[in-house]
Structure 1
Amino acid sequence: MIPFDNFHMEEGIPIYQQILLYLKRGIVAGDFHDGDELPSRRMLSALLGVNPNTVQKAYRQLEEENLICSHTGSKSYMVLNTEKIAQIRAELLQSDVKSVVQSMKQMGLSKAEALRLIQAYWD
């Protein structure tokens, strides 16, 4: 079963989105695999101390993105392949890079300064 021991809630971000991001980052990191079982909606809501509707919203989104398979009264499990994993990785990278670039621009960094900073942290 997919653990949520390392899940930490952050202020200002809807919890259902945090659940989605946690699972997607775990997928691209190789922590979660095809066929892995997710906690039930009730179990996860109790574990996180959130409204069951919040977990339901996250699971519904995962179903719409074809990342999990759920059936009424049965368990939910991950449905992954290399193409989906590559798509999630690209989606997350695009979002993260866009956010960093916007922050750098807001701080007045030039493109050259930003690239030097990235290079320094890369090394």
Structure 2
Amino acid sequence: MDTGTTGAAPPRVRLGRYGEEVAARYLREQGLEVVERNWRCEHGEVDIVARQGGCLVVCEVKTRRGTGFGEPVEAVTVTKAMRLRRLAVAYVRAHDLHPEQLRVDVIGVLCRPGQPVTLRHVVGVGS
């Protein structure tokens, strides 16, 4: 796995950045426009904000090296999904946007050593 990053970031941080790069590339390949990454406010952080037509998509990316604790997307609990929904609304308000639709997605990126990276995209969590 080449993360494309240098420096002294801990392996977990490098893995997370790599997963976000993979997810952003995937979203672009699916025809979405990535409009912002790592947006922060007092309520938390949004990994990726994208647009698909009139729909604003707030994306949480979970990256793992294995499935010892389940698939990466399983790390997003109902509570986390509700928090992501609140973050999505905060993003819309902070940017004075009026999207036709607002959606929260989760992308799980699995980076098993010696195997190709796999990705799972769950559309519309917490709706």
- The reply to whether TM is greater than 0.5 is no
Higher strand share: 2
Return the TM-score normalized by structure 1.
0.26
- The structure richer in helix per residue is 1
Greater Rg over alpha carbons, structure: 1
TM-score by length of 2: 0.26
